[in-house]
């Protein structure tokens, strides 16, 4: 008898990097993630489906901006070239280490060559250079569920216009249907798990005050039935922390929300069951949310006390020059990079077995305790950035496979997808929850994305939102002399706004992870928008020149997300 369910939710996302730099920032991010995460995970899940007959294994979120890149012809050609370079570099490392007598390191170099050769074979032959089709096939067989996200991972609570919030969700749903078979996604990973209810909202930069609908309003208008929140939001958003005191604009936003902050209805709220959002009682369709399980989350997220910090796992940060291969183990969190010990690929098998068994034990204990208390099978929802498994934590895919097998071989708990669980155990209609505003960022509010270092980004976004909505109205109302070019311009203006609005840029600026690159990307998309807007205005009066036409073609090539779509139509409010 099944007494509970485990649902891994893997959030696959990268910002648009095609034609936007190669190394150390840019296309290499996509190639690394495809080699170390997306391809080997797809292969592992396909094996479990074909050889073991496993179904409903987990939920995979592939953001529209990631999906568009994986489907792009330039990615497919560039990825094969990347793999060839990695194979060649690994064999050169092997020859070098053998020459200097470091045979153990030479063995690891050959291991890397074999790894990249295997990935190349899987990509070219097993999946015919179409990773999206591979994941779609798994969904069609009922092995996994795929969910959508905001089109470019825009930070929805801070976007300045209702139209742009709606467009992120509508565009995300449209790309999902285009890439995964024509049906709507029933679930969404809200970018940064950031949610905002409806209330009289004051723009933290411009001071404009407007009545706003909750994010869930636009979800149900686009046939999305559920989303995911971080644990503190279920408990009333108690994890705000000290960040409010650091930045006046953020404090202004929080104070405005506090004036109308809703009270949570219901009692004994547990993260092991889904709930209906209170406001959705007034919508055409009710919206459900799941809550992240913090107990299992820390075991995989934390580098200090979680599994990825195990001393025998691969050290991410130490790389051999010039190949970039990693040959060392973590050794210890306080051990200097120069003192890291050589990686032992056999020892990791023992560690993976132990870690996966412990994770399984914690999941089962939680679910059996919940069943004992509630007499109904609950769900442990464990959401992670997809790239954590394989890329950041190299052994993570092996961990995931072992946990799935542990659960599938157990008589009391089972794996599931979010959609499948809702079909079996829909939320109790007697309990509705009024969620507070927040995210899964530091302090569970907006600090990572809105602070002294990122305010200028939001000034650009708010200005561009306003100008683009005006341009759309002008496009609809005017009989352009060159309609074809005008249509291309209005679509590319929309793409620039979408890419400018990616939450990744503020995150990278705030964390200093790739600050210069992120600042350059924000500036580039803003400047592209302004240049194209000039051409759009001119297009109503006269034809643009050859040099201006080449500029349009150049920007279209560089920023070709949703290249088959009329993106301006997504900005119509439902």
Supply the CATH number for residue 460's domain.
Answer: 1.20.1430.10
- Give me the pLDDT at residue 259, please: 52
Q: Are residues 336 and 427 in the same domain?
A: yes
Within a domain: 120: no
CA distance 154 to 99: 51
419 sits in the region (left: phi over 0; alpha: psi -120 to 50; else beta) called: alpha
Within a domain: 290: yes
Q: What is the mean pLDDT of residues 82-95?
A: 98
- Give me the pLDDT at residue 481, please: 65
9: how many CB neighbours lie within 10 A of its CB?
A: 22
End-to-end CA, the chain: 44
CA distance 225 to 185: 9
- Give me the pLDDT at residue 241, please: 33
Q: What is the mean pLDDT of residues 465-472?
A: 97
Q: Are residues 192 and 220 in the same domain?
A: yes
> Given 3-state DSSP classes, what are the helix, strand and coil percentages for the chain, each rounded to the nearest 5?
55, 10, 35
Q: Are residues 188 and 333 in the same domain?
A: yes
CB contact at 8 A, 34 and 79: yes
Choosing from 427, 446, 465, the residue where a domain stops is 446
Q: Are residues 436 and 470 in the same domain?
A: no
pLDDT band at 248 (very low <50, low <70, confident <90, very high): low
Q: Are residues 503 and 567 in the same domain?
A: yes
Q: What is the mean pLDDT of residues 522-543?
A: 93
Q: In this prediction, what percent of the chain has a pLDDT beyond 70? A: 94
Q: What number of residues does the chain have?
A: 574
Within a domain: 89: no
Q: What is the mean pLDDT of residues 121-146?
A: 98
Q: What is the mean pLDDT of residues 283-306?
A: 88
Choosing from 395, 427, 446, the residue where a domain stops is 446
Q: Is the pLDDT of residue 37 over 70?
A: yes
Structure tokens of 156? Answer: 């929805």
Burial class of residue 436 (count of CB atoms within 10 Å of its CB; 0-12, 13-18, 19+):
buried
Pairing of strands 275-277, 432-433: parallel
Taken in order 393, 398, 399, 404, is the CA torsion positive or negative? positive
Distance of alpha carbon 169 from the chain centroid? 14
Q: In this prediction, what percent of the chain has a pLDDT beyond 90? A: 80
Within a domain: 275: yes
288-291: strand order across its sheet: 226-229, 288-291, 275-277, 432-433
22: how many CB neighbours lie within 10 A of its CB?
A: 14
Please state, rounded to an integer, the average pLDDT across all residues of the chain. 92
Catalytic residue among 192, 414, 465, 559: 192
CB contact at 8 A, 12 and 149: no
Q: Are residues 380 and 491 in the same domain?
A: no
Taken in order 191, 197, 201, 202, is the CA torsion positive or negative? negative
CA distance 85 to 536: 42
- For 93-105, the pLDDT digits (tens) are 999 999 999 999 9
Strands (E), 318-391: 378-385
Within a domain: 502: yes
Structure tokens of 262? Answer: 């809703």
Coil/strand/helix, residue 568:
helix
Within a domain: 119: no
Catalytic residue among 311, 369, 385, 442: 385
Q: pTM for this structure?
A: 0.94
255-276 residues labelled b (16+ CB within 10 A) or e (exposed): ebbeeeebebeeeeeebbbbbb
Number of domains in the chain: 2
**Contacts within 8 Å (CB) and 24+ apart, 330-337:** 333/303, 333/304, 333/309
- For 398-443, the pLDDT digits (tens) are 999 999 999 999 999 999 999 999 999 999 888 888 888 989 887 7
Structure tokens of 568? Answer: 């301006």
CB contact at 8 A, 384 and 11: yes
CA distance 327 to 324: 10
Q: Is the pLDDT of residue 111 over 80?
A: yes
Choosing from 446, 480, 500, the residue where a domain stops is 446
Pairing of strands 378-385, 4-12: parallel
CB contact at 8 A, 410 and 60: no
Q: Are residues 66 and 13 in the same domain?
A: yes
Structure tokens of 552? Answer: 């349009």
Q: Which of 50-59, 175-184, 305-314 has the highest mean pLDDT?
A: 50-59
- Give me the pLDDT at residue 401, please: 98
- Give me the pLDDT at residue 245, please: 41
> What single string gives the DSSP state of each residue in 144-165?
EEEEEE-TT-B-GGG-S-HHHH
Q: What is the mean pLDDT of residues 467-475?
A: 96
Within a domain: 178: yes
Query: Which residues lie across from 144 on neighbouring strands?
Result: 58
Local structure of residue 453 (DSSP, 8 states): T
Q: Are residues 274 and 389 in the same domain?
A: yes
Q: Is the pLDDT of residue 237 over 70?
A: no
Query: Which whole-number Å values give the CA distances from 271 to 6, 197, 257, 433, in the listed order?
Result: 12, 20, 24, 12
Structure tokens of 172? Answer: 């995300």
> What single string gives the DSSP state of each residue in 513-541?
SSHHHHHHHHHHHHHHHHHHHHHHHHHTT
Could you tell me which of 64, 82, 91 has the C-alpha nearest to residue 23? 82
Q: Are residues 354 and 503 in the same domain?
A: no
192 catalytically annotated: yes
550 Cβ partners below 8 Å, 6+ apart? Answer: none
Q: Is the pLDDT of residue 253 over 60?
A: no
Q: Is the pLDDT of residue 254 over 50?
A: no
CB contact at 8 A, 406 and 8: no
- Give me the pLDDT at residue 428, please: 84
Choose between 257 and 89: higher pLDDT. Answer: 89
Q: Are residues 510 and 391 in the same domain?
A: no
**Do you find a cis peptide bond into 322, omega within 30 degrees of 0?**
yes
Q: Are residues 524 and 564 in the same domain?
A: yes
CATH number at residue 15: 3.20.110.10
* Alpha helices (H) in 294-335, listed in sequence order: 294-301
Could you tell me which of 521, 389, 387, 507 has the C-alpha nearest to residue 13? 387
- Give me the pLDDT at residue 255, please: 58
88 catalytically annotated: no
Within a domain: 406: yes
Q: Are residues 433 and 315 in the same domain?
A: yes
CA distance 276 to 284: 13
**Residue 538's domain spans which residues?**
455-571
């Amino acid at each position: 008898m099944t007494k509970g369910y485990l649902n891994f939710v893997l959030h696959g996302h990268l910002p648009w990097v095609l034609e936007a730099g190669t190394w150390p920032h840019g296309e290499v991010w996509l190639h690394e993630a495809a080699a170390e995460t997306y391809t080997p995970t797809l292969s592992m899940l396909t094996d479990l489906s074909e050889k073991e007959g496993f179904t409903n294994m987990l939920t995979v979120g592939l953001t529209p901006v990631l999906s568009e890149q994986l489907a792009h012809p330039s990615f497919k050609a560039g990825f094969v070239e990347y793999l060839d370079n990695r194979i060649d570099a690994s064999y050169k490392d092997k020859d070098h280490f053998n020459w200097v007598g470091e045979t153990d390191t030479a063995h690891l170099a050959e291991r890397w060559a074999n790894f990249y050769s295997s990935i190349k074979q899987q990509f070219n032959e097993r999946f015919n250079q179409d990773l999206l089709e591979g994941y779609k096939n798994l969904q069609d067989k009922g092995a996994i569920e795929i969910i959508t996200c905001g089109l470019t991972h825009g930070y929805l609570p801070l976007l300045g216009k209702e139209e742009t919030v709606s467009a992120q969700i509508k565009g995300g749903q449209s790309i999902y249907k285009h890439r995964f078979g024509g049906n709507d996604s029933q679930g969404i990973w809200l970018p940064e798990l950031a949610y905002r209810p409806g209330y009289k909202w004051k723009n933290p930069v411009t001071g404009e005050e407007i009545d706003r609908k909750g994010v869930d309003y636009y979800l149900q208008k686009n046939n999305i039935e559920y989303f995911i929140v971080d644990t503190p939001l279920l408990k009333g958003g108690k994890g705000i922390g000290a960040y409010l005191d650091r930045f006046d604009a953020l404090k202004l936003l929080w104070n405005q929300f506090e004036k109308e902050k809703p009270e949570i209805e219901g009692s004994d709220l547990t993260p092991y069951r889904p709930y209906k959002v209170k406001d959705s009682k007034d919508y055409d369709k009710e919206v459900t949310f799941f809550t992240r399980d913090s107990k299992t989350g820390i075991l995989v997220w934390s580098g200090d006390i979680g599994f990825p910090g195990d001393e025998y796992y691969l050290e991410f940060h130490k790389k051999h020059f010039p190949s970039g291969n990693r040959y060392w183990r973590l050794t210890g969190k306080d051990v200097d990079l120069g003192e890291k010990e050589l990686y032992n690929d056999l020892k990791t098998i023992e560690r993976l077995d132990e870690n996966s068994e412990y994770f399984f034990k914690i999941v089962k204990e939680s679910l059996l305790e919940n069943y004992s208390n509630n007499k109904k099978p609950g769900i442990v929802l464990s959401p992670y950035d997809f790239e954590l498994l394989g890329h950041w934590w190299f052994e993570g895919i092996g961990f995931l496979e072992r946990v799935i097998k542990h659960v599938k071989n157990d008589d009391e708990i089972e794996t599931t997808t979010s959609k499948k669980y809702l079909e079996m155990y829909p939320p109790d209609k007697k309990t509705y929850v009024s969620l507070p505003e927040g995210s899964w960022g530091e302090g569970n509010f907006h600090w990572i994305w809105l602070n002294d270092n990122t305010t200028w980004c939001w000034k650009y976004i708010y200005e561009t939102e306003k100008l683009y909505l005006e341009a759309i109205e002008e496009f609809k109302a005017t009989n352009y002399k060159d309609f074809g070019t005008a249509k291309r311009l209005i679509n590319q203006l929309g793409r620039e706004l979408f890419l400018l609005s990616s939450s990744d840029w503020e995150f990278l600026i705030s964390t200093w992870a790739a600050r210069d690159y992120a600042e350059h990307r924000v500036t580039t998309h803003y400047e592209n928008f302004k240049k194209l807007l000039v051409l759009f205005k001119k297009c109503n009066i006269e034809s643009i020149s050859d040099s201006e036409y080449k500029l349009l073609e150049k920007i279209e090539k560089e920023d070709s997300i949703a290249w088959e779509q009329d993106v301006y139509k997504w900005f119509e409010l439902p």
